[in-house]
Amino acid sequence: MYTLPSLSYKYDALEPFIDTETMHIHHDKHHEIYTKNLNDALSGHDDLLRKPIEELLRDLPMIPEDIRTKVKNFGGGYYNHSFFWQCMSPRHDQTPGEAVKVGLEKTFGSFSTFQEEFTKASLRRFGSGWTWLVLDEKGLAVVDTANQDTPFSEGKTPLLCLDLWEHAYYLKYRQARSEYIQAWWHVVDWEHVDELYRKK
C-alpha cells in the first residue's frame, strides 16, 4: 500500500508565494486521490504494492497491460506530488548550493539562464504537466512532461519539479501561470536539489 506522505512543513509555510488553501486542497485532496486510485489500481498485485513507486515508473512495460495506464497516471501523480513537496522549503529565497550551482553554470552558462529556460519550458507546456530539472547520461537538463508523466520513463533522474496543473495555482493566481512561476522560485529548496545532485 502506498500512503500519502505528510508535508515536512506547515500548510502556511510557503505564504505568501503559495497560499495555505491551495496547499490544503492540493495535498489533502488531489494528492490523496492519486494515492487512493493508485492503491485501487494495484489491488490484488501485492508484489507491485511492495515496490518503491520509482521502480514501477522506471519500468512501466513490466506492469500488466490492463492496469498500466492507471499506474502511469495515478502512480505518476502519486510520485510527482510527493517529490514536489520536497522541492519546496519554508526557508525562502535560498540560493543554489555550491555543487549544483557549478553544474548549472557549466550546463546553462549562468544560474539566471537556467531559470529563464526552466520558466520558458513551464510557459510553453500546453495544458497540464510538469517542468523538471533532471540528470541524464549527458548531465543536467530541463525537460517538461505532459499530464502526470515522469522523467523516470525516459531513464532520467529528477532533481527539481514544478507542477503546472491549474489546481496548483488557480485559487491565488487564476490563469496567470507566469506569476505563479515567478512566485515559486522564492520557495525552491535548493539545499534539497544540491543534496540530490551530489548523490549522483
Minimal distance, residue 5 CB to Mn ion, in Å: 14
Which CB, 53 or 104, lies closer to Mn ion? 53
Residue with cell 534539497: 192
Residues 166-185 that bind Mn ion (CB under 5 A): 168
Minimal distance, residue 26 CB to Mn ion, in Å: 6
Q: Say whether residue 74 binds Mn ion (CB under 5 A).
A: no
Which CB, 144 or 163, lies closer to Mn ion? 163
Cα–Cα distance measured from residue 187 to residue 162, given in angstroms and rounded to the nearest whole number = 11
Cα–Cα distance measured from residue 129 to residue 131, given in angstroms and rounded to the nearest whole number = 7
- With contacts defined by CB under 5 A, how many residues of the chain interact with Mn ion? 3
Q: Say whether residue 165 binds Mn ion (CB under 5 A).
A: yes
Q: Say whether residue 108 binds Mn ion (CB under 5 A).
A: no
Which CB, 104 or 161, lies closer to Mn ion? 161
| 3-state secondary structure at position 11 | coil
Minimal distance, residue 164 CB to Mn ion, in Å: 9
Cα–Cα distance measured from residue 111 to residue 193, given in angstroms and rounded to the nearest whole number = 14
Distances (CA, A) of 195 to 3, 16, 92, 156, 199: 24, 26, 17, 17, 6
Q: Say whether residue 78 binds Mn ion (CB under 5 A).
A: no
Cα–Cα distance measured from residue 58 to residue 72, given in angstroms and rounded to the nearest whole number = 10
Q: Say whether residue 163 binds Mn ion (CB under 5 A).
A: yes
Residues 122-161 that bind Mn ion (CB under 5 A): none
Residue with cell 503559495: 18
For Mn ion, the nearest residue by Cβ is 163
Minimal distance, residue 174 CB to Mn ion, in Å: 16
Secondary-structure percent of the chain, ordered helix, strand, coil, rounded to 5: 55, 10, 30
Chain residues in the site for Mn ion (CB under 5 A): 163, 165, 168
